[in-house]
Amino acid sequence: MLENRPIVAITIGYLIGIIMGLYFNYSIVLLYLPFYLYLILKKPPIKKFKLISIKRYFRYIKIFLNKKVLIIIMISSVISNTIVLYKTKQFEEFTNSLNKQEIQLKARVISNEKINQFNKIYIVNSKNKRFYLRVNKNAKIQYGDYIQIKGIFLKQKARTNFKGFDYREYLKSQGIYGTIKCKEIKIISQKKDFFNQIFLGVKNLIEKNFEKNISNVLLGMILGYTDEISEDVKENFKQSNISHILAVSGMHIGYLIILCTFIFNKIVGRRLSYICSILIVLFYLKIIGYSPSAIRAVIMAVLLLGSKLIYRKSDVWTNLFLSLLVILIYNPFSIKNIGLLLSYTATFGIIFYSKNIKIKNKVYNAIGITISAMIFLLPIMAVYFNKISILSLVISFLVGIIAGPIIFLGLIYVVLKANILKTLIEILVKILLFLANIGSKLPLNQIYVVTPNLVEIFVFYIVIFITIFFFTIYNPKRKQNKVFNKRIRNLISLAKFEYRKNKKKVMSVLLIVVILISFIRYIPANLKIYFIDVGQGDSCLIVTPHKQTILIDGGGSENYDVGKNALVPYLLSRRIKHLDYIMISHFDTDHIGGLLTVMEELKVDTAIVSKQAENSENYERFIKIVKEKHIEVRVVEKGDKLKIEHNLYFDILWPRNDNLISETVLNNNSIVCKLKYKDFSMLFTGDIEEIAEKQILQEYKKYLDELNSSVLKVGHHGSKTSSTQEFLEAIKPKAALIGVGENNTFGHPNVGVIERLENLRCKNL
């Protein structure tokens, strides 16, 4: 229990304080005030609140948490909460004050170069603050150099979509303040880093002796270096749920310790071999870098070996939580690091299984460990990737068998340069690549799920713990559980007593909850319209009062899958896995690109399009998808009315199928439609240009009021070829929205368009 594991209690408190600071931006001191009063006065400050007796129900907590443990948790959470709030304020003040400002500083290069299309990128450290340094490809600096920098500090962009990827928070979790775009750089002194030289030596050895695709995977498995692995291979590993073998973790450290103890046992004896193993493991950590999974594995390994040195029994729970505490003390923001979450959650699942389920058959036991880790990881995978795997268990099990020998033999090859092992390593890595490829193509291997909320995650883990508890832990015959089982029996007895005493109240509350849940979905909500950041493009999600979903356009890019990387994750974060309608204004890539991926990955009932003046590659792909997915297609034109539900419909204002415009055909024959809901209206204009706007005005010259709209989605991203004065005056919008990419090369939105909108006293959003 926690009273026997103070480190676990301290870590739990530290976690509580960090979570309150990071996710709620709230000081935990006020929250604890009633508990402080209770502990000081030895009685609750409020005896009764309605039907709840605080004193009576507080005994449930005391079954598992005594006064000493509560005090430890409170103190550690207050400390971490204070640290997080202070560091968050410091981080924001620093980045806000220097954003886009020219700065000069001295720094040390603490990473090897990464090269993208235009620049070299390094990590530099200046006065205990780390930055990305972006320099041109001709710069000749290297790991360990002391340099003087003059450049522009750039604060990283926060997320722009609901629950989207937040690059600024990601950098925080890495301890990086932002990016410096270098203008001038001067090398003060050069000093090669000893550990980095070993890293480069191992890297060169592997690259020199193995073909590229094998060496890249081998570097990932031995050094955790994945920069040069191709995107296709990375995607195969990701789809097969085996990406963890490319990050140094417990398996890697375990094999290294086996190798060390085997060698040093023969030379210096068992006891000294433990000391040698500890030193080598720490040396290895310094070489590969301080990733959360590596730090966790190394700390746990050092504590295990250290306990053997002093003839003490090692407690795996204390070791696990102590490693987490060390990481969080160094950087509390790392709690948001997905690598840390995956590593610790999987390890927790493995330890929980190993401690409570005993299976003598080694194969069944290995399968059980794999299943336990996967079960505990399910909510994390659902939150961060919106995918769960059904059939990857077989691949994970096979990869677990083959990955161990690759790591073990790879370490021997690196240490002893044993070329005799080269052929065997190559064969094993090729088998691994084959399994990853097969695993990525298994049916039902990756199933999209909506993002679970905190209540669902909590219930999931509670059900898992209760299930495992009643089938394994709560066993009166197990002597080591005697005290724990007594506490559980007390808890069950108290629960039965409370239920009998308040049976009518409990049943009444349950009945009310069931009735509310049954009827709440029939209560109409408000109309919701969300504009999605898809870069240089348009995308709008509409959720009707009766929960029907409509997606108008989906952005797109030739070099970036907007659908996969932005649109599908956004919809799943909104808990939308099924779309009633999609509307495609026209088939330019920046409007249809993301929708094609959505149609392939999610359920779509109906696609709304207009008659096409010409075929295009996007249109042909669209036709192929609707046939494969059995999606209904509705072709609309001027004069059509699409009734979605009561008081909500679309008026189709353009195009005319009998008179399509021949100039810039895709843009000028975009669907122009007006959403009407009660007194609210919104006009969607696709990418129509001046010629289409004039024809629309001509068509509606006798009843221009039909064009009046509360909100306007500005045509063609605010281009100078659209949004004429006459057209805007006919619409008379109160607000206007323009879909553009930040710092785009097209000059959108045009200054003249903005001025015309402002002259109408229209609010630009």
pLDDT of residue 227: 86
Determine the topology of domain 99-192 in CATH: OB fold (Dihydrolipoamide Acetyltransferase, E2P) (2.40.50)
Give the SS3 label for residue 494: helix
Residue 307 CA, chain-centre distance (Å), reads 37
Per-residue pLDDT reduced to its tens digit, 106-152 = 999 999 988 877 789 999 999 889 999 999 888 888 899 999 999 99
Q: Exposure pattern of 682-706 as b/e (b: 16+ CB <10 Å)?
A: bbbbbbbbbbbbebbbebbeeeeee
Q: What are the φ and ψ backbone dihedral angles of 561, each rounded to 5 degrees?
A: -80, 90
CATH class of 528-764: alpha beta
Q: What are the residue boundaries of the structural domains of the chain, listed by start?
A: 2-94, 99-192, 197-337+395-444, 489-523, 528-764
Residues in the chain: 765
Element (H, E) at 649: strand 648-654
Cis omega (within 30 of 0) on the bond before 733? no
Residues of the chain with pLDDT under 50: 44-54, 479-480
| Nearest alpha-carbon partner for 605 in 566, 632, 628 | 632
Dig out the tokens for 602 from the structure.
């999610």
Separation between Cα atoms, residue 472 and residue 488, nearest integer Å = 13
Return mean pLDDT, the chain. Answer: 85
Q: What is the DSSP letter of 245?
A: G
Q: Exposure pattern of 229-244 as b/e (b: 16+ CB <10 Å)?
A: beeebbebbbbbbbbb
pLDDT of residue 179: 92
Biggest CA pair distance of the chain: 99
pTM of the model: 0.84
Q: Are 78 and 116 in contact (CB under 8 A)?
A: no
Per-residue pLDDT reduced to its tens digit, 501-553 = 667 777 777 778 777 766 666 666 789 999 999 888 899 999 999 899 999 99
Separation between Cα atoms, residue 585 and residue 581, nearest integer Å = 13
To which residue do tokens 């990737």 refer?
385
